[in-house]
Structure 1
Amino acid sequence: MDDLIAARSQMALSLGFHIVFACIGMVMPFFMALSHYRWLRTGNLVYKNLTKAWSKGVAIFFATGAVSGTVLSFELGLLWPRFMEHAGPIFGMPFSLEGTAFFIEAIALGFFLYGWDRLNRWFHWFTGVVVGLSGLASGILVVAANAWMNSPAGFDYIPPAAPGEDGQYLNIDPIAAMFNDAWFSQALHMTLAAFVATGFAVAGVHALMILKKRNVEFHTRAFRIAAVFGAVAAILQPISGDISAKDVARRQPAKFAAMEAHFETSRSAPLVIGGLPDEERKELKYAIELPGMLSWLAHGDSEAEVTGLDRIPDDEEPPVLITHLAFQVMVGLGVLLMLTGLLYLIAAWRKREWLNKRWLLKLFVISIPMGFIAIEAGWTVTEVGRQPWIIYEIMRTADALTPMPGIAYSFYIFTAVYISLSIVVVFLLYRQIKMVPEIYDKP
């Protein structure tokens, strides 16, 4: 394994684990706050017990998210020093503000966890809301930094005069860098994805407990709160996906072409479902084609021209196979979750007898991993589809790599650390779910 692949693999591993912890940490506080609100309004102890149970889960994911996020911050400097040297002063503001949001979240979580029967009831509830809002802000700010890598802004760039020299970054504007052209579409898409993945995963776990007939009232109320969040977000997600697709088609035509395995520039380009790209022969096999739909998706016009990979220089072409397959996985799972969400909302609104049907609960159990697989696939599209650039059309990933040798060993060590961390988290969550009936107040 060469150093570039090892460094990219280590970042992919770290981000792949962190994004799961971060998404759950962003979203579960809202479940917790809604359950807490219902307890304050109704006095039903089941909601109080549910709030306490979820707050412990929030604490677990806050801790693991903080650790894995800190590792990512160090990795940016250690593995990609030239990137941080030039990019740090430009897009440092969202990282700084993310640190502020993190501290607010930590303080509010401390108030919430230790404020039971010590603080005013409504102020105590408000601290839980602050945990959710600050966690959400933290996630959006990090996504803004990533969006800057896809859509660099907030500076004037003078290319190097000779090979081997550095370009110059002048007239830096951190506000323009943070609110770059990609930040809104990426932040919206990622936020909804976090609610979809966490909503369905949490609802699925509680659905499993209902099927096993364990503490049914507790898990039923938990299931319905999580399912509503997940279902609504899943139905809204295609709207954000359409916004993101049009944005990528405009700013990053190479990534868009790789996502769709669109090898030849054409008008009335077909949208493909499935398919296996052959990068050597520049063709897509075994795909279902929907005529004109790709042109409409990209530009809102079924007759519009869509740039293909034939117009992208060979040394700037992203890996097509990985990008296309990841995109298909993301979209396919998103559609399945959207349909499941629609079924649940129909059941809650019109067909309430469905809510207790085993088939509906089993759908949610099957959906437990789907949202997070879709998120991992989506980030694969975002990062692999941008290659060979670390800063789009300005700095190549290979040029930002540290000269330090032995990165492969670092990758192996971090792999072991993250696997161990995941085992610990799963064990703690399993123990927490198993102990629910015994550790809380009785009606």
Structure 2
Amino acid sequence: MSALELPSAVDLARAQFALTVVWHFLFPAFTIGLASYLAVLEGFWLRTGEAVYLDTYRYWLRVFAVAFAMGVVSGLVMSYQFGTNWSVFADRTAPVLGPLLGYEVLTAFFLEAGFLGVMLFGLERVGKGLHFLATCLVAFGTLTSAFWILSANSWMQTPTGHAIGPDGRFEPADWLAIIFNPSFPYRFAHTVTGAYLTTAMIVGAVGAWHLLRNRSNRQARLMFSMAMWMAAVVAPAQLVIGDLHGGNSYAHQPAKVAAMEGHFETERRAPAILFGWPDANAGVVQNRIGIPGLASLYLTHDLDGEVRGLRDIPRDQWPTNLPLVFWSFRIMVALGLLMIALGLAALWLRRQGRLYDTPWLHRFAVAMGPSGLIAVTAGWTVTEAGRQPFTVYGALRTVDSVSPVAAPAVAASLAAFAAVYLAVFGAGIWYLLHLFNQTPHVHEPGPPPGQPIRTAGITPAPALVSGTPGAGRPLAQPAE
């Protein structure tokens, strides 16, 4: 589409789906990790009896409830778009994608819905063991949901295990090959790890924000400590997983990787282009700055390896927006490197005993709060924009997937979605920020006096009675 052309129905339908999926994915990217974090906090509380874990659990439980609800609401709209804007795609892929999405509802959504109420409201109404089980099952449900959704998306990226029927529909031939398609293990590991890092960045930022106000706040210290452990361990692991995922994409989607890297020419000792502007018409990256040979090293694991460029791929298979893919990839990688730097800095200061007494680190962590959300959004932009011009890579083109709906009708619904999403989810995010700004404090002094926790077979330190000196604080400091 040139600058003087009006957008087509396909362009508008893509923009509408991009709008809804970006808003939606912000919330699961946070709640997947947050559900697991809540399970860990409650497990530590049950094992140690230290009230700080329960206080922190309750602080983040309110946040989880709001974020989970917004994720569910924003996700429902996407399903309707398959019928309104992408009916051809929905019809042709239904024999494959329909069961996968159905399994997600039956196994994950029902599991989350069944135990979410117990998790949110049952702490003082059911046994501690049952409540912990509910928290764990909700966390497991979020991972199960990610499993099925990513399996479906990965099949669209690397379709296998199907046959094309006489009516043009994708017919299942091997369900194991469909579910565990070539890109699924890498995409699942990369996305879930990204979700955990997203949660770690937000939890760490909130903890750091309150440490800047009061360094002795025990809940803030716990949040910050656990988040920095996650950053120090998982961020470097994500770099390795991302490299494996990139190698898999290079094998199955060479046009996407060439667009990510900005490679137009097939060459040995291919450079890693750090900056520049891909010009599809000229077939070059304007004003590029790169490191010779580095791309060959991490794509082929050989400094002299040959890297395929876009000129050796048919032009009608190139991603339709090269600068978007190119720069989204760099944003994702740059933020990942900053997460590694934050984790390593925190690890160094922890060894020196200055983790809670270094304001510049806390400000760094606050600034990195939204980095996970931005990184996963950039990553999904690379994934989806890089797959174009196909909805099912190599098998179904985007222009052949859209509904026969006129552009003005799609434009009107796009404008409506943009206005409603901005108002509703803008207000929701504002409320989340309001919750983050609330100072963590003692909500509950711990288990009732004289009733030790027996869930894990361990009797904790004696409970303290409200009104006595030091009430509401455990006898021992939590592990930090």
TM bin, normalised by shorter chain, reads over 0.9
Q: CA deviation at 1:192?
A: 0.9
Tell me: CA distance 1:39–1:169, structure 2 relative to 1, closer, same or farther (3 Å). closer
Q: Does 1:90 align with 2:81?
A: no
Higher share in helix: 1
Q: Which amino acid in the other structure matches residue 121 of structure 1? A: K
Q: Which residue of structure 1 lines up, in the alignment, with residue 345 of structure 2? A: 343
Secondary structure (helix, strand or coil) at the match of 1:286 reads strand
TM-score normalised according to structure 1 size: 0.93
Deviations 1:252-281 (A, max 9, x none): 111111001100111221222122222222
Q: Distance in 2 between matches of 1:343 and 1:214?
A: 18
Match of 2:443 among 435, 440, 443: 440
Q: CA deviation at 1:290?
A: 2.2
Q: Distance in 2 between matches of 1:414 and 1:7?
A: 12
Deviations 1:63-104 (A, max 9, x none): 111111111122123211111111121133331221121110
Q: Which amino acid in the other structure matches residue 146 of structure 2? A: G
Q: Which residue of structure 1 lines up, in the alignment, with residue 124 of structure 2? A: 117
Deviations 1:95-131 (A, max 9, x none): 1221121110122221112221222212211211111
Q: Distance in 2 between matches of 1:429 and 1:39?
A: 25
Tell me: CA distance 1:88–1:216, structure 2 relative to 1, closer, same or farther (3 Å). same
Q: Which residue of structure 2 lines up, in the alignment, with residue 312 of structure 1? A: 313
Secondary structure (helix, strand or coil) at the match of 2:190 reads helix
Deviations 1:22-78 (A, max 9, x none): 111111112212222222233222221211121111111111111111111221232
Q: Distance in 2 between matches of 1:167 and 1:155?
A: 12
Secondary structure (helix, strand or coil) at the match of 2:278 reads strand
Q: Distance in 2 between matches of 1:252 and 1:12?
A: 21
Secondary structure (helix, strand or coil) at the match of 1:353 reads coil
Report if aligned partners of 1:148, 1:177 keep a CA contact under 8 Å in 2. yes
Tell me: CA distance 1:435–1:253, structure 2 relative to 1, closer, same or farther (3 Å). closer
Q: Which amino acid in the other structure matches residue 222 of structure 2? A: R
State which drifts further: 283-292 or 192-201.
283-292
Q: Does 1:290 align with 2:291?
A: yes
Q: Which residue of structure 1 lines up, in the alignment, with residue 147 of structure 2? A: 140
Tell me: CA distance 1:236–1:412, structure 2 relative to 1, closer, same or farther (3 Å). same
Q: Does 1:41 align with 2:47?
A: yes
Report if aligned partners of 1:271, 1:293 keep a CA contact under 8 Å in 2. yes
Tell me: CA distance 1:49–1:256, structure 2 relative to 1, closer, same or farther (3 Å). same
Q: Which amino acid in the other structure matches residue 305 of structure 1? A: E
Q: Does 1:23 align with 2:29?
A: yes
Match of 2:109 among 59, 80, 102: 102
Q: Distance in 1 between matches of 2:98 and 2:294?
A: 39
Q: CA deviation at 1:375?
A: 1.0
Q: Does 1:262 align with 2:263?
A: yes
State which drifts further: 246-255 or 112-121.
112-121
Gaps in structure 2 of 5+ consecutive residues: 1-6, 446-471, 473-480
Q: Distance in 2 between matches of 1:436 and 1:98?
A: 37
Q: Which residue of structure 1 lines up, in the alignment, with residue 468 of structure 2? A: none
Q: Which amino acid in the other structure matches residue 141 of structure 1? A: W
Q: Which residue of structure 2 lines up, in the alignment, with residue 163 of structure 1? A: none
Q: CA deviation at 1:157?
A: 3.1
Q: Distance in 1 between matches of 2:434 and 2:277?
A: 43
Report if aligned partners of 1:153, 1:177 keep a CA contact under 8 Å in 2. yes
Q: Which residue of structure 1 lines up, in the alignment, with residue 226 of structure 2? A: 225
Deviations 1:320-364 (A, max 9, x none): 11111111111111111111112222333x222243210111110
Report if aligned partners of 2:100, 2:152 keep a CA contact under 8 Å in 1. yes
Q: Which amino acid in the other structure matches residue 322 of structure 1? A: L
Secondary structure (helix, strand or coil) at the match of 2:356 reads helix
Q: Which amino acid in the other structure matches residue 137 of structure 2? A: V
Tell me: CA distance 1:303–1:203, structure 2 relative to 1, closer, same or farther (3 Å). same
Q: Distance in 2 between matches of 1:105 and 1:346?
A: 39
Q: Which residue of structure 1 lines up, in the alignment, with residue 389 of structure 2? A: 388
Q: CA deviation at 1:378?
A: 0.8
Q: Which amino acid in the other structure matches residue 341 of structure 1? A: G
Secondary structure (helix, strand or coil) at the match of 1:77 reads helix
Structure (1 or 2) with the larger CA radius of gyration: 2
Q: Distance in 2 between matches of 1:369 and 1:434?
A: 15
Q: Distance in 2 between matches of 1:41 and 1:86?
A: 52
Gaps in structure 1 of 5+ consecutive residues: 161-165
Tell me: CA distance 1:126–1:230, structure 2 relative to 1, closer, same or farther (3 Å). farther
Q: CA deviation at 1:183?
A: 0.6
Secondary structure (helix, strand or coil) at the match of 1:356 reads coil
Q: Distance in 2 between matches of 1:7 and 1:326?
A: 21
Tell me: CA distance 1:171–1:59, structure 2 relative to 1, closer, same or farther (3 Å). closer
Report if aligned partners of 1:235, 1:342 keep a CA contact under 8 Å in 2. no
State which drifts further: 5-14 or 215-224.
215-224
Secondary structure (helix, strand or coil) at the match of 2:290 reads strand
Counting aligned pairs with the same residue, the percent is 34
Q: Distance in 1 between matches of 2:137 and 2:128?
A: 15
Report if aligned partners of 2:33, 2:198 keep a CA contact under 8 Å in 1. no
Q: Distance in 1 between matches of 2:176 and 2:359?
A: 51
Q: Distance in 2 between matches of 1:174 and 1:59?
A: 35
Match of 1:416 among 405, 416, 419: 419
Secondary structure (helix, strand or coil) at the match of 2:387 reads coil
Q: Distance in 1 between matches of 2:238 and 2:190?
A: 7
Q: Which amino acid in the other structure matches residue 61 of structure 2? A: S
Secondary structure (helix, strand or coil) at the match of 2:428 reads helix
Secondary structure (helix, strand or coil) at the match of 2:276 reads strand
Report if aligned partners of 1:215, 1:437 keep a CA contact under 8 Å in 2. no
Q: CA RMSD in A?
A: 1.9
Q: Which amino acid in the other structure matches residue 33 of structure 2? A: V
Tell me: CA distance 1:437–1:374, structure 2 relative to 1, closer, same or farther (3 Å). closer
State which drifts further: 219-228 or 21-30.
219-228
Report if aligned partners of 2:41, 2:56 keep a CA contact under 8 Å in 1. yes
TM-score normalised according to structure 2 size: 0.86
Match of 2:82 among 73, 76, 79: 76
Q: CA deviation at 1:436?
A: 4.8
Q: Does 1:4 align with 2:5?
A: no
Secondary structure (helix, strand or coil) at the match of 1:303 reads coil
Report if aligned partners of 2:95, 2:170 keep a CA contact under 8 Å in 1. no
Secondary structure (helix, strand or coil) at the match of 1:284 reads strand
Q: Distance in 2 between matches of 1:248 and 1:10?
A: 26
